[in-house]
Amino acid sequence: MSQQSLQDNYSGVFDGRVGYGQKPAIVVVDFINAYTTPGSPLYASGVVDAVLASVDLLDIARRNGILEVYTRVIYSPHGMDGGVFVRKVPVLRKMVEGEPLADIVPELPPAPQDVIINKQYASAFFGTSLAPMLTSQGVDTLIVTGCSTSGCIRATAVDGMQYGFRVIVPRECVGDRHPAPHEANLFDIDSKYGDVVSKAEAMEYLASCVQATSV
């Protein structure tokens, strides 16, 4: 199927836009050393690029008082809390507290006011307090950055939409280990679950939002 026929096939059915709301939050999904350290089984050069692209986006959000939530994958030493997921992807068992590969990348250090959530599955929402926390803060728009596009980003986008948030994915700020699943999942997210936009567009929106986070 040609690229043109693909667009024609989706046109008028899967090309709606969710747009931006009034109060955004940033979710930084699993930007951890495991994906950016050469020699790590999970290393992905596309994630390295996405980390670097996210620095100024997170900076402008922080300057404007926008809530930033970081996630990382952490399991108990026996891995039982990983269920079938760690059976499917055994390398994840290495992600335990104290393992340097499980730490958030130094290029994007969380600030004291940021929130760090430990998760065990792909979606940042599954089994975590993310949804009620965002709701309690009056958030209606979710800017999703992180990795990987075909895994945790897609799962977070789907759940974000299902929880009623406007999901926005800045293209340059998410990454995967191969361009094919990266592009395919960006296409699906943009078609059905949220809006995939340029980093420049997302930054322009964040620059227009000055928020006071409630407690």
76: phi then psi, degrees, rounded to nearest 5:
-70, 160
DSSP-assigned letter for residue 127:
T
Per-residue tokens: 200: 């420049």
Tell me, yes or no, if 152 is annotated catalytic.
yes
The identity of residue 137, as a single letter, is Q
- Residue with structure tokens 């949220």? 194
Alpha-carbon span 109 to 209, nearest angstrom: 22
Q: How many CA atoms lie within 13 A of 30 on its CB side?
A: 30
- Decide: residue 22, CB within 10 A, 0-12 exposed, 13-18 middle, 19+ buried: exposed
Per-residue tokens: 158: 């789907």
Helical pair 45-63 and 199-207, crossing angle rounded to 10 deg: 20
Per-residue tokens: 65: 């008082």
Active site residues: 152
